[in-house]
Amino acid sequence: MAVAHIGLGANLGDRRGSLLSAIRRLRAEPGLRVLSVSHFYETLPVDCPPGSEPFLNAAVALESNRSPQELLAFLHRVEAAFGRERGATNAPRTLDLDLLLHDDLIVDSPELRVPHPRMHERAFVLVPLAEIAPDAVHPVLRRSVRDLRDSLPTTEVKPCAELPHAGTQLRGLKTLVTGSTSGIGLAIATAFRHEGADVLTHGRSSRADDSRHLFADFTDQLHVDRLANEAWGALGGLDFVVLNAGVDTLTGAAARWPFESKLEDLLEVDVKSTMRLARTLGARMKERGRGSIVTIGWDQAETGMDGDSGQLFSATKAAVMAFSRSLALSLAPEVRVNCIAPGWIRTAWGETASEYWQERVRRETPLGMWGLPEDVAAAAVWLSSSAAAFISGQTIRVNGGAVR
């Protein structure tokens, strides 16, 4: 895998939104892995037509299994998807993705020049690039990025907050997200907080310095019952519950467990704890007169997947999906219950999956890319919000259009 460095810029439309979305698109592409992202910087336009607006710029380091030519072609496709029109040189643009460095390769052709021929002259490129790759070496000039940056005036390159202001649609509403220390669960907890919710997180280890984090080992049902009481008591009731906790049997030591051991833990954590928490907290919500529960299934539980993992996850996640539909009937009309069925989501396993799996994701997903934990989080926020007030008993597939 080669390490490539990409420069990003935008000065038309929602500049911040375009850069954030472009970074997400890079993260979702099979065969690419984003290693680091710089802060955003606002810069004055350089060599642009009169009246051009200031740019937001950033830099990304990524691993790529593609040649520089293939990577550039992909970057151009992403630009086009964001409305980039190639006309006059340095014209205002909705999105600019420049291939700055590709390992230590030197390419000089009519279609592509690497390293980028003007990167060493541009502070708006070197400042964000030096933040994430100060020791990268320009293969032609044989100087580090840090050295090149320090040779230019940088006063016109100003740091800019990269995240939009927090939302308000869930402000003050009390939320529990289980299995929220990493991956999809962490993204869900982050998204709820971003919308103003008061969030309790949960994991299998304690955090003495975090009063909003609860510890429970869901292989022990006594822990499950204790968590239900602690979560309800900590916030004086709950408005939303997202039951995301699940066993990772694809990475780490669990990947080497025998089939029977994986099944036992999946049944305890993914199925029994979900049912126990949903029934207990759902009953309290119903008695109080309001609430929303979101569970996590799997899109291929309905269609099947070969292999041990397919059998394990199909059986356990299909149980969660069927249970959620029945619970929705039991708790209506006071409490809504819905299930999210993710498809190929790029969690820890997907980050290091082999080329076979990268191509399989591309082949089986009509949108041709990985889903991200943030995509599942967005669905969980929507299902919990008033915008989904007439949605209950449904399984929402977040899978890039796979409908086989």
Do 335 and 379 lie in one domain? The reply is yes
pLDDT at 402: 87
Q: How confident is the model at residue 155 (pLDDT cuts 50, 70, 90)?
A: confident
Domain membership of residue 403 (yes or no) is no
* Structural domains of the chain, count: 2
Do 33 and 155 lie in one domain? The reply is yes
Do 155 and 220 lie in one domain? The reply is no
Could you tell me the pTM of the whole model? 0.86
Q: Quick check: 137 pLDDT over 70? A: yes
User: What's the CA gap between 313 and 323, in Å, rounded?
Assistant: 15
Share of the chain above pLDDT 90, in %: 77
Do 267 and 336 lie in one domain? The reply is yes
Domain membership of residue 166 (yes or no) is no
Do 178 and 149 lie in one domain? The reply is no
Concerning whether 84 is annotated as a catalytic residue, the answer is yes
User: What's the CA gap between 123 and 103, in Å, rounded?
Assistant: 21
- Could you list the residue range(s) of the whole structural domain that residue 127 is in? 2-160
Q: Quick check: 90 pLDDT over 70? A: no
| CA angle (11 as vertex; 17, 187 as ends), nearest 5 | 15
The 10s digit of each residue's pLDDT in 263-275 is: 999 999 999 999 9
Concerning whether 96 is annotated as a catalytic residue, the answer is yes
Q: Quick check: 48 pLDDT over 70? A: no
Of the residues 25, 98, 239, 299, only one is catalytic, namely: 98
Supply the mean pLDDT for the chain: 92
pLDDT at 141: 96
Domain membership of residue 167 (yes or no) is no
pLDDT at 193: 95
**119, amino acid identity:** M
Do 256 and 286 lie in one domain? The reply is yes
Do 132 and 230 lie in one domain? The reply is no
pLDDT at 114: 95
Task: State the CATH number of the domain containing residue 343.
Answer: 3.40.50.720
Boundary (domain end) residue, out of 126, 160, 194: 160
Do 142 and 252 lie in one domain? The reply is no
Q: How confident is the model at residue 160 (pLDDT cuts 50, 70, 90)?
A: confident
Mean pLDDT of the region 169-185: 94
Domain membership of residue 10 (yes or no) is yes
pLDDT at 401: 93
Count Cβ atoms below 10 Å from residue 238 Cβ, excluding itself: 23
**Which residue has 């190929």 as its token pair?**
344
pLDDT at 53: 82
Task: State the CATH number of the domain containing residue 89.
Answer: 3.30.70.560
pLDDT top residue among 144 and 209: 144
Q: Cβ neighbours of residue 391 under 8 Å, at least 6 residues apart? A: 336, 338, 383
The 10s digit of each residue's pLDDT in 359-394 is: 999 999 999 999 999 999 999 999 999 999 999 999
Of the residues 84, 122, 336, 397, only one is catalytic, namely: 84
Q: Quick check: 162 pLDDT over 80? A: no
Task: Look at 56-65, 202-211, 388-397 and tell me which has the smallest mean pLDDT.
Answer: 202-211
Domain membership of residue 89 (yes or no) is yes
Structure token pair of residue 181 = 């220390």
Do 17 and 156 lie in one domain? The reply is yes
Q: How confident is the model at residue 82 (pLDDT cuts 50, 70, 90)?
A: confident
Domain membership of residue 216 (yes or no) is yes
pLDDT at 88: 58
Size of the chain, expressed as the number of residues it contains: 404
Domain membership of residue 169 (yes or no) is no
Q: How confident is the model at residue 13 (pLDDT cuts 50, 70, 90)?
A: confident
Do 114 and 68 lie in one domain? The reply is yes
**What is the four-CA torsion angle of 117, 122, 126, 127, rounded to 10 degrees?**
-170
Q: Quick check: 324 pLDDT over 90? A: yes
pLDDT at 168: 73
pLDDT at 51: 61
Of the residues 15, 25, 93, 397, only one is catalytic, namely: 93
Concerning whether 15 is annotated as a catalytic residue, the answer is no
Of the residues 15, 25, 27, 96, only one is catalytic, namely: 96
Concerning whether 397 is annotated as a catalytic residue, the answer is no
Share of the chain above pLDDT 70, in %: 96
Do 283 and 384 lie in one domain? The reply is yes
The 10s digit of each residue's pLDDT in 279-297 is: 999 999 999 999 999 999 9
Boundary (domain end) residue, out of 137, 160, 183: 160
User: What's the CA gap between 327 and 269, in Å, rounded?
Assistant: 18
Q: Quick check: 254 pLDDT over 90? A: no
Task: Look at 15-29, 61-75, 83-97, 205-219 and tell me which has the smallest mean pLDDT.
Answer: 83-97
Boundary (domain end) residue, out of 129, 160, 191: 160
Do 153 and 217 lie in one domain? The reply is no
